[in-house]
Structure 1
Amino acid sequence: MTQLTTAVVLLVTASLASFRRAGLGFTNKGTALHIDSLTDEQRAAIDAEPKLSVKEVSADAIPEGVDRTPFDTFLAAQSQTEEKEKTPPVTKTKSANTTAKA
């Protein structure tokens, strides 16, 4: 199993065509969010909002038609961060003067 299929996704569906809460936009078609992309305050606000339905699913269970943009954006940012952490820092070294005098 890959990290993508085991990722916990919040599937948030608004009871209105569009609705905003916790600085995020949601639709009645659903919005997929990576669970780690939210602060505790955002999660609490979303969970407490009666106009939003929240369901936890795995990434491979995101239904067709759901807006995956926030989920995919979070994964891309995580991937970039991991790549930066894997890349060793560039160090400058003094180069020796190899030009011979005649």
Structure 2
Amino acid sequence: MLYAQNCSACHQTGGNGIVGAFPALARNTFVVGDPLAVARTVMDGRGGMPSFRSSLTDEQMGLIINYIRGSWGNRAVPIMPATFAKARGGTLPREVRSQVH
């Protein structure tokens, strides 16, 4: 599972995080808030969180975000693929750019 491979070491399997080090994703208002802000956070990192822009595809980031937005008491609409293009300022997704060039 993508969450287990990329997120659970810090945010824990149950999404509870580690107090004082890594925020809980469970019942987190940011996680269920603005999809664009969440996409940018996963793409570009934040604080001690690494960027996943170059290590995960848009599809993989979307799967992780949608898993988080629907788990541990979180209830949010799924993030849409177009959100990642918007987060990049309208550029094509990395996997599409590589096919064009």
TM-score normalised by length of structure 2:
0.28
Structure with the greater alpha carbon radius of gyration: 1
